[in-house]
Amino acid sequence: EAQVTQNPRYLITVTGKKLTVTCSQNMNHEYMSWYRQDPGLGLRQIYYSMNVEVTDKGDVPEGYKVSRKEKRNFPLILESPSPNQTSLYFCASCRAGLLTWSYNEQFFGPGTRLTVL
């Protein structure tokens, strides 16, 4: 089954304790990205990656790091989490389409609800 998986699904942590949220896709997609969702703000992109070893900042990258050492994995790293990073996080992937836009549907993971105390 084609899917994007995220782990953990729920996490409560304390300020300053480094954490990693994993994201993995089994569709051989080139493009992967991370979003955070906050009430009243919709989804905002944190980082994205066009392919292995290629990452770029999105709209709200401060306080986050990512890596793309393998095509299927795109972990999100919070080196020193703070309460303002309490949010719902989504990982997504899609093909880097060459032909038409309609192939560029993004597949979303189930979300990770993070609470930083």
Binding site for other proteins (CB under 8 A): 29-31, 33, 35, 40-45, 48, 50, 58-59, 88, 90, 92, 94-102, 104-108, 110-111, 113
In sequence order, the 6+-apart residues with CB closer than 8 A to the CB of 19 are 11, 13, 77, 78, 81, 114
Minimum CB separation of residue 109 from other proteins in Å reads: 8
Among residues 40 and 69, whose Cβ is nearest to other proteins?
40
Would you say 14 or 27 has its CB closer to other proteins? 27
Q: How far is the CB of 92 from other proteins (least distance, A)?
A: 8
Query: Minimal distance in Å, beta carbon 99 to other proteins?
Result: 6
Query: What is the 3-class SS of 70-95, one letter each residue?
Result: CCCECCEEECCCCHHHCEEEEEEEEC
With a CB cutoff of 8 Å and minimum separation 6, the contacts of 53 are 68, 69
Residue placing its CB nearer to other proteins in the complex, 15 or 51: 51
- Find the shortest distance in angstroms from Cβ 105 to other proteins: 5
63 or 111: CB nearest other proteins = 111
Q: How far is residue 2's CA from residue 36's CA, in Å, rounded to a whole number? A: 22
Q: How many helices (H) and strands (E) does the chain have?
A: 0, 11
